Amino acid sequence: MDWSHYRFRSVWDLPAPPALVYAVLEQGEDYPRWWPQVRRVEPLDGRTGTALLRSFLPYDLRVTATELLRDPARGVLEAALRGDLDGWARWTVRPRAGGTRALYEQEVVVRKPLMRRFAVPGRPVFRLNHALMMRSGRRGLTAYLARRPEAV
């Protein structure tokens, strides 16, 4: 088993229409406006950007994301990740009663040397750190959507 390999899955139920949720999620450069752990996003071109991430633990992750799939009709956004994390991430947005269900899936291998060094003893803490980041992202997006006039 590669202790630096992770699969994550998070479900966010959001009180906004799927088209609005999708429109916000496809604007990666705006993530720092609503997701506190996404500290900075710098677009490189129309399909690629770099992000600086930091959650509860005192280390930064630098990742370059390249769009693999943008399909509004199916509600899917997918990106390849390179840098401190190598792999992919995907949003799938679907309607649900009262709003939207956004499914976030990610499969990565950690490349950051510090995290690889502590891969075995740190694994539960790294997973908790990710869960806290996702919880904060869901809360931030919910509040951000509530402030948008299109949400009404």
pLDDT(150) > 70? no
- Is 152's pLDDT higher than 50? no
Domain count, the chain: 1
Average pLDDT, the chain: 95
Tell me the percentage of the chain whose pLDDT exceeds 70.
97
Give this prediction's pTM.
0.94
Cβ-proximal residues to 139 (8 Å cutoff; 6+ apart), any chain: none
CA separation, residue 107 to residues 18, 23, 32, 85, 114 (Å): 24, 23, 22, 9, 19
Give the tens place of pLDDT for each residue, 34-91.
999 999 999 999 999 999 999 999 999 999 999 999 999 999 999 999 999 999 999 9
pLDDT band for position 148 (cuts 50, 70, 90):
confident
Structural domain boundaries enclosing 120: 5-151
Residue from 58, 65, 19 nearest 44 by CA: 65
> What's 61's domain CATH number?
3.30.530.20
Q: Per-residue pLDDT averaged across 6-25, rounded?
A: 97
